[in-house]
Amino acid sequence: MSGDRLLIVIGIVALAAGCGGPSPARPADAAAGAVPTAGQTPPSAGRPSGTIRDISFDDIKFDVEKGSPFTRDLLPKRVTDLERERIRIRGYILPSFQQTGLSQFVLVRDNMECCFGPGAALYDCVVVRMQPGKTANFSIRPVAVAGTFRLEELRGPDGKHLAIYALDGEDVR
């Protein structure tokens, strides 16, 4: 396993080991993705090619029973429609041993100030791999990451899913 991949696996394992509580509840109509909220645009609806769609972790959330294995058929169409779309998502960079010049990192929903809850859900993290020549620096503040969204299953040594979302990072602000 390469050093960079090992760091991502370690970060996700730490996340799943109890840092990050359950996601806040959402109204049923928002969870179903029925109506985009202010500032959000449905996939490809009236957006010129090359524009970036702002999304949140709520937009990539899906229903899954706790402890149930992940299968792609659990993903709603609103999530699968994001595949290969240019998006921008806000979150926190999961701390690692490196502080500057990050070529890859895990973006999480919250800053895990409360690390006593159950492990984070699969939809609460995105593995970001910066494009060649681009890097990011760790921050304790939320960041906005832009790039191309992909569905990519990352499994741990035990075969269980550690992450299912990836982003080819273009910019971190």
How many domains would you assign to the chain? Answer: 1
Output the domain CATH number for residue 98: 2.40.50.140
Of 43 and 97, the one with more pLDDT: 97
Tens of pLDDT, residues 10-34: 555 555 444 333 333 333 333 333 3
Residues paired with 87 in a beta bridge: 53, 147
pLDDT at 77 over 70: yes
* 1 band by pLDDT with thresholds 50, 70 and 90: low
Tens of pLDDT, residues 117-141: 346 789 999 999 999 999 999 999 9
Cα–Cα distance for residue pair 129/22, rounded to 1 Å: 25
Q: Residue 67 sits in which domain range?
A: 3-172
Report pLDDT for 36: 37
Q: Are 104 and 130 in contact (CB under 8 A)?
A: yes
Residues paired with 151 in a beta bridge: 165
How much is the mean pLDDT over the chain? Answer: 79
Q: Which amino acid is at 29?
A: D
Of the candidates 131, 133, 125, the residue with the CA atom closest to the CA atom of residue 106: 125
